[in-house]
């Protein structure tokens, strides 16, 4: 019995697995399979029976009328992570359709809605056209995504600025539990004149310090991903939550105002660190605190009387626990007529539900003056925002939180910091710049002065805003050059259009012409080793280490990358055949497949462990032998010499790169030795007998340096490599088959660039073959030194 998924090219057969003996996992729900399942053995794809039938008729790719400029791909793999549907703005989970280019996601309801629903959603989308689907707010290090309120958990969160419940449209970071009302996102000041520190303005910045209000380390608090307000001169800091606290109570025995600390003040455990300055007992509940003096007082030690009278109310007022009058969500003090926090204790009249702030009752003289005088607008937190402009860059110190969380100091010479690159443009350091000595984070002087906003001819309809990669809103691929960037970039939040600094800072005419090969290159495709669509990009950053998921070699240059899960392949690895015939195993076909255990039958090294995602190798299903990809694709030309009974195979540049990676990540003690001189073979090309498992340096085989071959009229000279041109296609002039440009060849020096041949091609047609192992006593190397 078979099933055919609309999203998979092969039919899937029915299987019944035993929980104890079979070790298969469902690709959709990621749980172990026990019982009925469907599988494509060829692609190593296994699904529970219910998981397979749930997605059986869902197409692999659709074109949606509300996102017609890109195709949407079916995404059903992995655990059901929550996502926000870009049409209905509701949080969903499970199978969805997503755009691999611009992070546009639809739940199944919106993806297959009727045409009438599309019209309604189109109108709704137009009404939200001016809203950014995601924004990088200056107060939070992660992107804030646009959400629409629903009853699926958001009711547990309040806006982190106004502390009111979330309703309607809001922005948030679900991983940190940080949410802002849409109308609050523009109210947060970047500099603040705060009564806790009246001597200097406080600047919003990402700091690693202790909050002076709650005495908690900011980097360890729940606001660790959110900026704090600080004064660098005095080392005074307030985390994002404590910055909203204000002194409200005047005390005759103290010069400063006292701040009410309610039951929701930070972590409840933290309150055990506060001790009352009067009775010396711990402040286990609500208390008043003077942040400037680090003074704490219980309400009874202030004292706050349990019963009080106020001149503007005829009944006695009773000190009461927090009161919520109704479910409207707005609570006011009946004396000052300002909003009050429903979690704070209040004075309450039981006869007429008269409710007032504690400080409004106790500060009667101040209240009376305010009531009798002409009315004035209340002083809100927004009014306390400093009217000063943001701190300008000085000659020696640069403070730009968007660039780096710490201040950067000017440095005349940056070349002394060897091995480091500019954090913005990712180029080598040269000339003056700015450095954070704590992190050794460095920027060129010009990069430190990049404008926050530009207008670029490649995207004239909107401004582009500057972002650091650590605050990226999506995948870091430049829309102009397709380079995968790791430095700063410019982004249009409306269109998700991105330019790296290289393309953003030069005119489009300077970008260069597109070659024929580049114009014919597919920009997106599917590959049989991966279920998601792969997009073309360039990895050009030498400091970022990424390995190809097939050959495990370093990624650099043309690459295909999966936006969903980070799967990355060399452009050359895309052309690897799913099945191939090789001369060293000619009796059967080798198949490229996922292999979990075993060793390579060619080089005798272990196969890569399954911890490296999926380990792909070429294997023979009939014989059970496996080969590393680097070995299988390299060992294609056998060499027969009189000095050895079997064929010898050339291990060149590809294997050397693979072997270096193998030693770094798998086995640092792995070595291959020459069977003649005893010295290490790694680091240079060598020949190996796959039947005897012995190796020979090229010089130990004593290949003739100059030969006279029947395939060419002139003598041929042995060279370690030869690159004819930059066409990336190199051929042997004897057999007219492709050759590796970095492998040893025989070359005609009298016809430069005219005749180049494989070693085996040249030697097979040599007029007088002289090939022998050099006598051991003639070698200057020591056998014992190699061992």
In whole angstroms, give the CA distance from residue 549 to residue 765: 40
pLDDT at residue 535 greater than cutoff 80: yes
Per the structure block, which two tokens stand in for 621? Answer: 């299903």
In whole angstroms, give the CA distance from residue 185 to residue 623: 65
**Phi first, then psi: what are they for 107, rounded to 5°?**
-75, 170
Helix boundaries (H) for 573-719: 629-634, 653-665, 698-701
pLDDT digits (tens, 9 = 90+) for 557-600: 888 888 777 788 888 888 888 888 888 888 888 988 877 678 88
pLDDT digits (tens, 9 = 90+) for 170-209: 888 877 878 888 888 888 888 888 989 888 888 887 777 8
- Of these ranges, 249-263, 408-422, 515-529, the one predicted with the greatest mean pLDDT is 249-263
pLDDT digits (tens, 9 = 90+) for 612-642: 456 788 888 888 888 888 888 878 788 888 8
pTM over 0.85: no
In whole angstroms, give the CA distance from residue 742 to residue 726: 13
94 pLDDT band (50/70/90 cuts)? confident
Q: For residue 630, which of 611, 603, 594 has the smallest C-alpha distance?
A: 603
389 pLDDT band (50/70/90 cuts)? very low
pLDDT at 541: 79
Give 111 or 614, the one with higher predicted confidence: 111
Percent helix, percent strand, percent coil in the chain, to nearest 5:
15, 30, 55
SS3 assignment, position 778: helix
CB 481 within 8 A of CB 537: no
In whole angstroms, give the CA distance from residue 652 to residue 655: 6
pLDDT at residue 331 greater than cutoff 60: yes
Residues 6+ positions from 383 with CB-CB distance below 8 Å: none
pLDDT at 756: 92
pLDDT at 38: 92
CB 164 within 8 A of CB 181: yes
561 bridge partner residues: 535, 568
Question: 379 — alpha (psi -120 to 50), left (phi > 0) or beta?
Answer: beta
Pairing of strands 236-238, 259-261: unpaired
pLDDT at residue 321 greater than cutoff 60: yes
Domains parsed from the chain with CATH numbers: 2-54 (3.30.60), 131-188 (no CATH), 192-303 (no CATH), 306-368 (3.30.60), 394-443 (no CATH), 577-698 (no CATH)
pLDDT at residue 451 greater than cutoff 70: yes
pLDDT at residue 379 greater than cutoff 60: no
pLDDT at 746: 92
pLDDT at 370: 41
pLDDT at 748: 92
Per the structure block, which two tokens stand in for 104? Answer: 């546009």
Give 327 or 215, the one with higher predicted confidence: 215
pLDDT at 745: 92
pLDDT at residue 786 greater than cutoff 50: no
Residues 6+ positions from 773 with CB-CB distance below 8 Å: 643, 676, 696, 700, 701, 702
**Phi first, then psi: what are they for 388, rounded to 5°?**
-65, 150
Per the structure block, which two tokens stand in for 672? Answer: 């291959």
Task: Tell me which DSSP letter residue 509 carries.
Answer: G
pLDDT at 332: 84
CB 73 within 8 A of CB 60: yes
pLDDT at 420: 77
pLDDT digits (tens, 9 = 90+) for 410-424: 887 666 666 678 888
CB 549 within 8 A of CB 568: yes
Q: Where are the beta strands (DSSP E) in 646-711?
A: 648-651, 686-689, 694-697, 706-707
pLDDT at 343: 78
pLDDT at 272: 56
Lowest mean pLDDT among 109-113, 246-250, 263-267: 263-267
SS3 assignment, position 197: coil
pLDDT at 562: 83
- The residue-averaged pLDDT of 350-371 equals 69
What does the mean pLDDT of the chain come to?
77
pLDDT at 341: 80
pLDDT at 132: 65
pLDDT at 772: 38
Per the structure block, which two tokens stand in for 275? Answer: 């001790």
pLDDT at 462: 84
């Amino acid at each position: 019995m078979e099933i055919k998924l609309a999203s998979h090219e092969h039919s899937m057969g029915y299987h019944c697995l035993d929980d104890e003996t079979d070790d298969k996992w469902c690709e959709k729900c990621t749980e172990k399979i026990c019982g009925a399942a469907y599988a494509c053995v060829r692609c190593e794809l296994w699904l529970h029976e219910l998981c397979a039938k749930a997605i059986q008729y869902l197409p692999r790719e659709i074109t949606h009328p509300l996102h017609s400029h890109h195709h949407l791909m079916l995404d059903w793999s992995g655990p059901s992570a929550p996502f926000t549907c870009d049409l209905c703005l509701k949080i969903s989970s499970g199978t969805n359709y997503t755009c691999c280019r611009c992070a546009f996601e639809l739940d199944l309801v919106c993806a297959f809605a009727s045409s009438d629903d599309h019209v309604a959603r189109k109108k709704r989308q137009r009404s939200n056209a001016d809203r950014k689907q995601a924004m990088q707010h200056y107060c939070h290090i992660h992107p804030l995504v646009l959400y629409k309120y629903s009853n699926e958990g958001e009711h547990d969160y309040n806006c982190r600025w106004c502390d009111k419940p979330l309703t309607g449209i809001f922005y948030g970071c679900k991983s940190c539990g940080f949410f802002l009302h849409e109308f609050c996102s523009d109210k947060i000041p970047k500099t603040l004149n705060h009564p806790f520190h009246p001597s200097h303005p406080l600047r919003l910045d990402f700091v690693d310090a202790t909050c002076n209000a709650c005495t908690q380390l900011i980097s360890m608090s729940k606001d660790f991903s959110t900026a704090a307000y600080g004064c660098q001169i005095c080392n005074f800091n307030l985390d994002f939550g404590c910055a909203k606290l204000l002194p409200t109570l005047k005390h005759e025995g103290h010069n400063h105002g006292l701040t009410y600390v309610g039951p929701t003040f930070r972590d409840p455990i933290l309150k055990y660190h506060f001790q009352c300055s009067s009775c010396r007992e711990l402040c286990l509940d609500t208390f008043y605190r003077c942040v400037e003096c680090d003074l704490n007082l219980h309400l009874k030690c202030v004292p706050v009387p349990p019963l009080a009278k106020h001149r503007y109310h005829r009944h006695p007022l009773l000190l009461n626990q927090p009161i919520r009058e109704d479910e409207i969500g707005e609570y006011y003090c009946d004396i000052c007529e300002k909003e009050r926090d429903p979690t704070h204790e209040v004075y309450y009249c039981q006869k007429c539900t008269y409710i007032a702030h504690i400080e409004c009752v106790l500060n009667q003289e101040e209240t009376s003056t305010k009531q009798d005088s002409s009315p004035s607008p209340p002083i809100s937190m927004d009014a306390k925002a400093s009217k000063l402009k943001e701190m300008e860059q000085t000659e020696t110190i640069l403070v730009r939180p968007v660039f780096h969380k710490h201040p950067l100091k000017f440095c005349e010479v940056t070349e002394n910091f060897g091995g480091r690159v500019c954090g913005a443009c990712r180029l080598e350091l040269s000339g003056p710049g700015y450095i954070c000595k704590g992190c050794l984070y460095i920027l060129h002087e010009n990069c430190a002065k990049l404008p926050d906003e530009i207008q670029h001819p490649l995207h004239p309809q909107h401004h582009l805003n500057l972002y650091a990669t650590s605050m990226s809103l999506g995948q870091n691929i430049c829309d102009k050059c397709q380079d995968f960037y790791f430095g700063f970039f410019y982004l249009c939040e409306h269109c998700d259009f991105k330019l790296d600094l290289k393309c953003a800072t030069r005119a489009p005419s300077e970008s260069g012409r597109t070659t024929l090969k580049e114009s014919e290159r597919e920009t997106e495709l599917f590959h049989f080793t991966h279920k998601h669509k792969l997009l073309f990009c360039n990895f050009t950053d030498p400091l970022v280490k990424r390995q190809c998921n097939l050959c495990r070699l370093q990624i650099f240059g043309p690459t295909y990358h999966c936006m969903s899960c980070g799967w990355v392949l060399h452009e050359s690895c895309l052309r690897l055949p799913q099945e191939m015939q090789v001369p060293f195993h000619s009796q059967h076909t080798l198949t490229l497949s996922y292999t979990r255990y075993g060793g390579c039958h060619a080089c005798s090294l272990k196969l890569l462990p399954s911890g490296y995602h999926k380990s792909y190798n070429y294997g023979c299903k009939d014989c059970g032998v496996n080969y590393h990809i680097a070995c299988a694709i390299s060992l294609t030309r056998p060499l027969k010499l009189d000095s050895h009974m079997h064929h010898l195979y050339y291990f060149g540049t590809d294997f050397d790169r693979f072997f270096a990676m193998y030693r770094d990540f798998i086995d640092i003690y792995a070595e291959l030795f020459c069977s003649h001189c005893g010295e290490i073979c790694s680091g240079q090309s060598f020949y190996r007998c796959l039947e005897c498992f012995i190796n020979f340096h090229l010089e130990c085989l004593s290949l003739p340096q100059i030969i006279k071959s029947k395939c060419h009229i002139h003598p041929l000279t042995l060279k370690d490599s030869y690159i004819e041109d930059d066409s990336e296609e190199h051929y042997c002039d004897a057999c007219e088959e492709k050759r590796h440009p970095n492998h040893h060849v025989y070359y005609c020096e009298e016809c430069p660039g005219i005749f180049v041949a494989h070693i085996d091609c040249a030697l097979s047609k040599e007029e007088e073959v002289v090939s022998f192992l050099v006598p051991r006593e003639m070698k200057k190397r020591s056998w014992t030194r190699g061992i």
